[in-house]
Chains A and B, each alone.
Chain A
């Protein structure tokens, strides 16, 4: 046996002796840990916990897209001092106008109803009905 092997053997024997001299508290805790591990190995895992990895990845992606959409759709995403685009401004003004007109209108759908009548009539007309009925 060469010097290196002797050295390694000495180290191994010392280690084994230290393992043999472990106190009862440590041995007991190791036994408890082993039993806990064995319990885990014999307990079937719940079905929903066995979802594939891509399921959680898809969930995270969906959450990210939703957060992105909410964030950029909210006023918080736009600084107050930032100038707004003219188109956006115009759209908001249009909405205000529509809302204001609706407030004083007893039959807000009436205008649309008129249009529908018109289109019905136009359709009939182009199909060859009598144009003299207009009016």
Chain B
């Protein structure tokens, strides 16, 4: 094996990892496609609950997909889910920070002060057309709207823990990886979130 005097020489000589066989690439792509198609809709709804904006949610999900595919697709597929949600949650937090800055700047500008994110959502708009049980769907939509409003009122970490554990079905260890914290913190955040939500929604939900 050839030795290298400096690290830069080693880098110059290295020609990247050995190319994978064609079959392996196809299998890998298929696996990634399956994974993304499984998570994309739930990821979108999770982002939408946090961001209250459809286009922003789509952008954040697309960004998370691209980053996962570009940077982490070579990792074992078992690691994709927590990695993907970690990227997603980071994207959501970044966007919320940018909005907070924009809001502070807008407060100094002349003109209407209404925040477009505060638009009231009409549950009827989201009811899928052609459904047989419209009243049932409407009730579901209303219940979900109440849950979303309560979720948004939670501290961010509690909301993340609840959505990842309850909506996405990650276990405690995966949620800890996705949130970048300890499993004990996940349990605490989740427990507090459930407690608060039950207090707010329990009687009328």
Contact = CB atoms under 8 A, between A and B. Distances in A.
A22 B41 contact: yes
Contacts of B29: 38, 41-42
B58 A37 contact: no
Interface in B15-44: 15-16, 25, 28-29, 32-33, 36-37, 40-42, 44
30 contacts: A11-B147, A11-B167, A14-B140, A14-B143, A14-B144, A15-B45, A17-B144, A18-B141, A18-B144, A19-B42, A23-B126, A26-B44, A26-B58, A30-B44, A30-B58, A30-B61, A31-B40, A33-B62, A33-B65, A36-B62, A37-B66, A37-B68, A38-B36, A38-B69, A40-B66, A40-B70, A41-B29, A47-B15, A52-B11, A55-B11
A37 B28 CA distance: 13
Contact of A22 (B45, B66, B68): B45
A14 B69 contact: no
Contacts of B42: 15, 19
Interface of A is mostly: helix
Given A42-B29, A47-B15, 12 more contacts: A11-B197, A12-B167, A15-B45, A15-B147, A18-B45, A18-B141, A26-B44, A26-B58, A30-B41, A34-B33, A37-B62, A52-B7
A10 interface: yes
Contacts of B141: 18, 21
B137 interface: yes
Interface string B86-114: 00000000000000000000000000000
Contact of B140 (A12, A17, A50, A55): A17
Interface residues of A, number: 35
Given A12-B166, A38-B32, A41-B70, A19 B41 contact: yes
Interface of A: 3-4, 7-8, 10-12, 14-15, 17-19, 21-23, 26-27, 29-31, 33-34, 36-38, 40-42, 45, 47, 50-52, 54-55
B151 to A, nearest CB: 9
* Contact count band on B: 35 or more
